[in-house]
Amino acid sequence: METLAELLPVLMLPTLALLLFSGYPVALVLAGVGLLFTLLGWLVGEIPAVAFLNIPLRVWGSLSGSLIYPAVPMLLFMGLALEKSGVAREMLLCMRVLLRRVPGSLAVGVTILGVLLAPAAGLIGASVATLALVALPTMLEQGYRPSLATGSVAAAGTLGIILPPGIMLFFLAQLLGVPMGSLFLSTLAPGLLLAMLFIVYYIAKAHFDPGAAPGFDSSRESLPGNLLWYVIRSLALPVLLIGTVLGSIIAGWATPTQSGAVGAAGGIVLMLVNGSFSFKRLNEVVIGTTLTTSMVFFIVIAATVFSYPFRYLSGDEVVIAALGATGLGDWGILLLILGIIFVLGFFIDWIEITVITLPIFFPILDGLDFAAYVGSPELSLVWIAVLIALVLQTSFLTPPFGFALFFVKGAAPPGVRLADVYRGIVPLVAMQLLGLALVLALPALAVGLPRLVLGI
């Protein structure tokens, strides 16, 4: 019995992986494996019967004790309101006008749109599909090569998850125990660096291969009469709303929940300003927010159920001992964990990856000593959180299994092939890997801004 008890935490992870890849819903798998091994632990005398009563208390404590989780539905509401208001299409057309003299203006505009709509990037599938529905028809109609059009949409759709106030950053801050303001500031420069690398590629591509990205055709398109109001309505107001939410959290003026509530109200105001408000659309936003929030928290609750027996059976100590026995050192362990997260990103979305892997890897990551390399003990774990976010975004784009690529293909017009998506994304993955390598080699890209602003 003693040998079986020692094997239980070792068996939990392969059992979880096997059931995840079998196609069962993630939340049901997490909760089911957790309850199964709680029962097995009780049968072999390792877990007391009272543990079954402690699981609901553990779930309640993890949710009620967080100031971050209540912000999730607010930010989801804001993102859906921005989507339903038609502001994404208006912003794209506005940038098309403002950037009309820039080569590859639509691809550049889509990238900027991906940056500005970070709050709408609740889940990869939703953000990529939204951009694909808004931008792909316009780009293809303007004569863009399908590979460039689909590649730019896939890359832009994943930018939002690593830029504040994207919802993934809330979960990273919660699960890794890092300050929200520090993480927001740390992801700004790497996220904008990736956007700049993408933009440089599009401009160079349009310059050397004009057929891939035709320029602005004034004979087919006309400038709006009141250009200033058009820019304010389409671009300035959404940017002001997102900046208010982001700035209030970083400055400490409001909690994430309070800032999210302001963002949700601002989303309704934008719908009114855009003339797209109706009770039908508002109902769609409320229903969409409810469904997505329910799915997210179902996974969070299930992950808590899974982690309870795993930690009770000393599973985290088993993982720490196993990685320590490899003799890889801090750098080797960090790269190994990033590699595991990268592979998982081929198959499941960030919410499942973060709530499954980070509670397991957190004790290991927290013990890694990169204080001297990063230049600040307080920002060592923040830098690691930025690397995790970048690795997740890279894995979502990498062929042949990149999660975002299939969403682009699914939302694309019938004439677009999956091969076009693959061809278009390869150079952008190269840009992504370059950005990741730069943040690995130059940690100041991530931690420089919080050190400057917060004085850490």
* Phi-psi group of 278: left, alpha or beta (phi > 0 → left; psi -120 to 50 → alpha; rest → beta): beta
Instruction: Report whether pLDDT(78) > 90.
Output: no
**What percent of the chain is modeled with pLDDT above 70?**
93
Note the pLDDT of residue 27.
85
Of the two residues 108 and 122, the one the predictor is more confident about is 108
351 neighbors 125 (Cβ within 8 angstroms): no
Note the pLDDT of residue 382.
94
Instruction: Report whether pLDDT(48) > 80.
Output: yes
- The confidence band for 4, taking pLDDT boundaries of 50, 70 and 90, is low
Of the two residues 206 and 84, the one the predictor is more confident about is 206
How far is Cα 182 from Cα 203, in angstroms, rounded to an integer? 33
152 neighbors 113 (Cβ within 8 angstroms): no
Note the pLDDT of residue 377.
85
For 344, other C-beta atoms within 10 Å of its C-beta total 21
162 neighbors 187 (Cβ within 8 angstroms): yes
Of the two residues 379 and 263, the one the predictor is more confident about is 379
What average pLDDT does the structure give for the chain?
83
- pLDDT digits over 228-269, tens only? 776 777 777 777 877 787 778 777 788 777 887 888 888 888
- pLDDT digits over 319-344, tens only? 778 877 877 889 999 999 999 888 88
**Averaged pLDDT for residues 167-174:** 86
**Averaged pLDDT for residues 373-394:** 91
380 neighbors 331 (Cβ within 8 angstroms): no
Note the pLDDT of residue 87.
73
Note the pLDDT of residue 334.
93
Alpha helices in 252-379 (DSSP H): 256-273, 279-312, 315-325, 329-344, 350-367, 371-374
Kindly list the domain boundaries of the chain, sorted by start residue.
69-297+314-456
